[in-house]
Every structure is written in C-alpha cells, then in structure tokens.
Amino acid sequence: MSGNEVIAEVKNLRTYFHVPEGVVRAVDGVDLVIKPGRTLGVVGESGCGKSVTALSLMRLVPSPGRIEGGEIIYYQSVRETSASSLSDIIDITRLKPNSREIRAIRGNHISMVFQEPMAAMLPVRTVGSQIMEAITLHQNVSHQEARERAIEMLARVNLPNPDRIVDNYPFQLSGGMRQRAVIAMALSCNPHLLIADEPTTALDVTTEAQILDLMRKLQADYNMAIMFITHNLGVIAEMADEVAVMYLGKVVEQTDIRSIFINPLHPYTQALLRSIPQLDDVMTRSGERRQLHTIKGMVPDPYTVLKGCPFHPRCPHFMSEVCDQVVPEVIEAEPDHIVRCHLYAPSPEEAQTRKEAML
C-alpha cells in the first residue's frame, strides 16, 4: 500500500507487559489501516488493548511494557519542518522511544489527545506556555510568533478571549475548556494524524457534542486522519468512517461504519450493539423499568491465555471442540469486511446457515 492511500499501517503489532504475575498481552497481533482525512474508530470494552495500541503508535508505552513484534509504518510527506530529514516511509517500531526521530514525529506529525486533559497539561505552567513549547520544539519560530500561533489555535477551538486564556493555568479552566486547550495543543503543529483516546468520556453530553463537532470541522480544515478510541458506539456512529472492534488485544471485526451497524458479523460486536441503551429498553409505555442488555461474563484476567477464541466463554454461539480449541483466523467474510470468528470460516453454505441461525 502506498503513502497516497494511507497515512499509517499497523501490521501484526504485539505489545506485552512482563510483570511478576506473568505476561499481559495487551496488544496481540493487531492490524489497522489509517487513511488521510478519514476517522478510524477503535472500539471495545476497557482492557481490550485500545489505548496500548495508541501508545505504541506514539512509542509512549510505559515500562514494563514493550513492543515485541510487528510494524507500525508511517508514510510522511515532505514537510517544511525540522523533521523533514526523516525518510518518507518509517517503521515506528524500529525507533528508540526517546530518539530524535520519534520526537520529531511525536506531537508534530502524530499528536494525541488523552481522556483526562489534566494528564496532558502541567498544572504549574500556563496553557499558552505549554502550547508554545510544542510549537517551538518542532518549528523554527520566534517566541512572539509561537505566542501568536498559540492564541490563534485557542481561538480556532472556539475558546472565548484566547488572548486572556493563553496566560491562564489549566486549573482556571472548566473541564470542557481544558479539553479544547489540549486539542489546540495537539493541533498546534498541524499533525497528519490525531489520536484521540476517549477525548470526551469525562465531559457532559452537551460539551461532548461541541467537542465532536469541533474535531470534525478541524479534520475537514486540515485533511487530518483521526484514530478515535472509545467504548461508546454512539460516538463512533457520529465520528467514524471505518471501525475496528477490539477484544483481548486483537481486532475481531473491521469494516466501514455503515456495515458495522447494519450488518455486524462478530458475536462480540453484536453484543456491544445490543448493549446500547434504547429508551424502550429502559422503560415500558406503562412506566415499568426494564433491565439493560449486558454482555454475559467479564473480560478475562489479563494474565490468562485462553485456548481457542478468546471470546468463547462469553459467546452465545460457542461451538464446542471448535471455539475452545482453535484460534480463529482473520476472514474477509464480505468485501472490505473482516472478522475473526469460526462462524465464517467453513464453506459458504454452512456459514450462511449458521449466520441465519444467529438472527
């Protein structure tokens, strides 16, 4: 695949944490493709490896975690920045976490917005000084130019009085304003790829809607790729063009946004969709409360390596002697729609019969 079609490709990525209790395979053979100007939604329950995948892309995996294998290919176009000495195709996994090369990419070509803005900003430094630092680190500009750019970015994310907020400390801003400031910082160097890790989870629904609108607008303005990580399928429906569903460190289904909602194939995706609360599910017309749909069981202990399909203890379509014995391979069940499930592996007729039995 060429850099004209994609901005980053993750191939068979494995990121493990070696701890005294055992090995946590947080990311265990993930493949993803991220395209310019498009949003890839990455969805799944807590502990399924979404955030560690994102941290691997930034080479920010905390110790004792490390990338054990696979590739993260970044296709950069030539830019008028200090990073333009980098080659056009870079395997990020081969860069040292603190090398000059990865520091030239991080925050400049690839930026990240975290769930909790206080984790991304130092409380003892003004918002403006932190945005200016990101700018001067990657661009050859004067202090005054960096300050003007910081004010411009704060205005760009619709913060009122940006020339005053530039001198405020993070604690002087509300949660929604802080998250806008973090987005301004992430976008200050006009990145090719923005990784947003649950950027609106801590916000109220009104602020969430505003931030999502803002991100979509900025994406259109900058033709930026977004990798949007969330457990919220409602947010995915609003933001994503393609969706990767992750479970226990693996992508179990990947396709375009329409197919994931109209024709979900993997039993885990189907269960996630059933778990979205609907008004009718919460209360009947007579005012009776109903129980919400949940996914049976829990995500297993991270040290456990399950034989066969990792979803089999929770799967309503579990097939004995198959699902608990054989790891399902990636199958292109339909054009541009991949799934890891034995239901789609046998002959087409058999798969169809099984699928119909599931409906």
- Contact between 65 and ligand SF4 per CB under 6 A: no
Give min distance, CB of 158 to ligand SF4, in A: 43
Work out how close the CB of 64 gets to ligand SF4 at its nearest, in angstroms, rounded to a whole number.
30
Strand partners, 140: none
Nearer to ligand SF4, 59 or 342 (CB): 342
Residue type at 55 in one-letter notation: L
Dihedral of CA atoms 122, 126, 129, 130 in degrees, nearest 10, equals: 30
Contacts (Cβ under 8 Å, ≥6 apart) of 154:
127, 128, 131, 162, 165, 166, 180, 181, 184
Report the candidate in 245, 227, 237 with the shortest Cα–Cα distance to residue 276: 237
| Residue 328 binding ligand SF4, by CB under 6 A | yes
Cβ proximity to ligand SF4, 110 vs 244, nearer residue:
244
The reply to whether 59 sits near ligand SF4 by the rule CB under 6 A is no
Selected from 40, 312, 338, 351, the binder of ligand SF4 by CB under 6 A is 312
Q: Which is nearer to ligand SF4, 137 or 330 (CB)?
A: 330
The stretch among 11-19, 161-169, 289-297, 315-323 that binds ligand SF4 (CB under 6 A) is 315-323
Asked if 318 is part of the footprint of ligand SF4 (rule: CB under 6 A), the reply reads yes
Q: Which is nearer to ligand SF4, 75 or 311 (CB)?
A: 311
Question: Which CA distances in Å does 141 have to 119, 191, 314?
Answer: 27, 17, 55
Q: By CB under 6 A, is residue 342 in contact with ligand SF4?
A: yes
Q: Is 341 in the site for ligand SF4 (CB under 6 A)?
A: yes
Question: Which of 182, 323, 333, 351 lies at the binding interface for ligand SF4 (CB under 6 A)?
Answer: 323
Q: Give the rounded distance of the alpha carbon of 16 from its chain centre.
A: 18
Strand partners of residue 106 = 110
Stretch of 36-44, 171-179, 257-265, 336-344 contacting ligand SF4, by CB under 6 A: 336-344
CB 275 → ligand SF4: shortest distance, Å? 16
Closest contact distance (angstroms) between CB of 295 and ligand SF4 is 12
Residues 169-208 that bind ligand SF4 (CB under 6 A): none
- List CB contacts of 38: < 8 A, sequence separation 6 or more: 225, 226, 241, 242
CB of 337 to ligand SF4, least distance (A): 15
Q: Which amino acid is at 329?
A: E
User: Would you say 117 or 310 has its CB closer to ligand SF4?
Assistant: 310
E strand or H helix that includes residue 229: strand 225-230
Name which of 107 and 308 has its Cβ closer to ligand SF4.
Answer: 308
- DSSP characters for 278-325? -HHHHB-TTS-B-PPP--SS-PPPTT---SS-TTGGG-TT--TTTTTT
What is the total count of residues that contact ligand SF4 (CB under 6 A)?
Answer: 14
Q: Does 319 bind ligand SF4 (CB under 6 A)?
A: yes
- Return the ∠ at Cα 96 (arms to 90 and 102), rounded to 5°: 55
Length of the chain: 359
* Nearest CB to ligand SF4, comparing residues 321 and 349: 321
Which of 43, 151, 183, 309 is close enough to bind ligand SF4 by CB under 6 A? 309
Tokens of 287: 């005012």
Nearer CB in complex with ligand SF4: 66/317: 317
The interface with ligand SF4 within residues 240-269 (CB under 6 A) comprises 266-267
Instruction: Mark out the alpha helices in the chain (DSSP H runs).
Output: 50-58, 100-105, 117-120, 127-138, 143-156, 162-165, 175-187, 205-222, 233-239, 257-262, 267-274, 279-282, 348-358
Contact residues toward ligand SF4 (CB under 6 A) are 266-267, 309, 311-312, 315, 317-319, 323, 328, 341-343
